[in-house]
Amino acid sequence: MNQRSRQQKAHILGLMLLALTIFASTTAVSVSATLEGINSTAQTDKEWLVYYDPDYNFTIEYPVDGWQPETIWHIIDANSYNIAKRTIFSAPQARIIIDIWDDPQADIVGWVYDYLHQSLVEQEITVNAKIAGFPGVAFVEKNEQAPTAIGIVFNNNEHFFLIQYLIGDGGDGINTYRHLLQSFTPKTENGNDLAGEFLFPLDVQREATKEAHAPLVNTCCGVTSNNNPFPCDNGNCTWWVWYKKSGVPMTGDAWRWGYRVNQGLYPGWYLVEDPVVYNIAWWDKSTARPGGHVAYVQGKSGYNSWINVNEMTWQGNPCAEEPVTRIIDLPSVGEPTGYIVRY
């Protein structure tokens, strides 16, 4: 091979190496960007506070501005089906709820079917996420009378956790929610961090924010109810009952309330057949009421032949006609499916 041929060959090889280098660099950036979108937190510009839970020995981070944590209840030696502890992080138009069960079983899919599936029937339940290295089930709960929720259930081999973001702010808090999940850090008995992998499916996140709709409001049809976790659109039955009945723990559309109470999730709350004054009348979903319905029972006859309920309706009457008081004969077509009471 002459000198000129060797120079041409070297030149061609040099061009090939340059092309491979550019391709490898481009590919690496693309893969890195994809993984970053799945695994890391986008909100690097915020300042964060650390919340420590001494009962279950973990920490999480939440924003300095706009979010306030509050423990709603903590029950020692709760039944395995009761939510043993509930903590809510509240913002003006959104909520992040951490529910914890004292249940050590390892079958997370079976647990979700047993405890939540009856009110989460919209999707297949599969392990699709990780929090601090623990396998989890991430899901979207689509609602109309309540904020759409994005949530994840996971088990740290001692307790089940359900962390939900109730999207009443149009999805503005989604990155706060992701950061809170990613910052979840279990502690050892000596106080050391137990780091683990974080994976949260972007398709679940996109679906949740796409479904977000009516914002949370403190005033509905001229009535003020501070920190009400339900929206108002010319009235809303769930908003009204939360206002009328102190301490309502239920989330989601009205039809979900009865199932969740009947599953024993909320300590002290029960689904019963007979009306109890100053409690809740509950209707399951139907063709006429696809979201179900709830109303406040403010009176009844001595022999349960009628009840007097006070209610609002979702996208029904204009606000000038809300709330409504009516008498319902018992039994009758359209009577409540059951009654939610707190003892």
Confidence of residue 71 (pLDDT cuts 50, 70, 90): very high
Kindly report the CA angle at 50 between 44 and 56, in degrees rounded to 5?
130
DSSP string covering 26-66: HHHHHHHHHHHHHHS-S--SS-EEEEEETTTTEEEEEESSS
Q: 47, 61 in Cβ contact below 8 A?
A: no
| CA Rg value for the chain | 26
Q: Kindly state the average pLDDT of the residues 36-46.
A: 43
14 or 152: which leads in pLDDT? 152
Q: Kindly state the average pLDDT of the residues 160-174.
A: 90
Three-class SS string for 145-179? CCCEEEEEEEECCCCEEEEEEEECCCCCCHHHHHH
Statement: residue 338 has pLDDT above 90: yes
Is 219-342 a CATH 3.90.1720.10 domain? yes
Confidence of residue 122 (pLDDT cuts 50, 70, 90): low
Q: State the Cα–Cα distance between residues 195 and 185, nearest whole angstrom.
A: 6
Amino acid at 150: I
Secondary structure (3-state) at 13 = helix
> The whole model's pTM is what?
0.84
Q: Kindly state the average pLDDT of the residues 30-48.
A: 43
Q: Kindly state the average pLDDT of the residues 278-294.
A: 93
pLDDT digits (tens, 9 = 90+) for 199-230: 999 998 888 888 766 788 899 999 999 999 99
Q: Kindly state the average pLDDT of the residues 226-235.
A: 90
Confidence of residue 11 (pLDDT cuts 50, 70, 90): very low
Quote the pLDDT of residue 85.
98
Q: Any alpha helices (H) in 225-320, and if so which ranges?
A: 237-244, 254-262
Quote the pLDDT of residue 258.
95
Q: Any alpha helices (H) in the chain, and if so which ranges?
A: 3-39, 108-115, 174-182, 202-211, 237-244, 254-262
pLDDT digits (tens, 9 = 90+) for 236-246: 999 999 999 99
Quote the pLDDT of residue 207.
86
Confidence of residue 319 (pLDDT cuts 50, 70, 90): confident
Q: Kindly state the average pLDDT of the residues 118-133.
A: 79
Quote the pLDDT of residue 117.
61
Q: Give me the residue spans of the domains in the chain.
A: 1-38, 48-211, 219-342
Quote the pLDDT of residue 93.
84
Quote the pLDDT of residue 34.
27
24 or 339: which leads in pLDDT? 339
Helix (H) or strand (E) holding 137: strand 134-141
Confidence of residue 265 (pLDDT cuts 50, 70, 90): very high
The CATH code for residues 48-211 is 3.40.1000.10
Tokens for 47, please give them.
Answer: 């300042």
Quote the pLDDT of residue 43.
46
Could you identify the residue written with the tokens 């660099």? 25
203 or 105: which leads in pLDDT? 203
Which stretch, 191-205, 240-254, 316-330, has highest mean pLDDT? 240-254
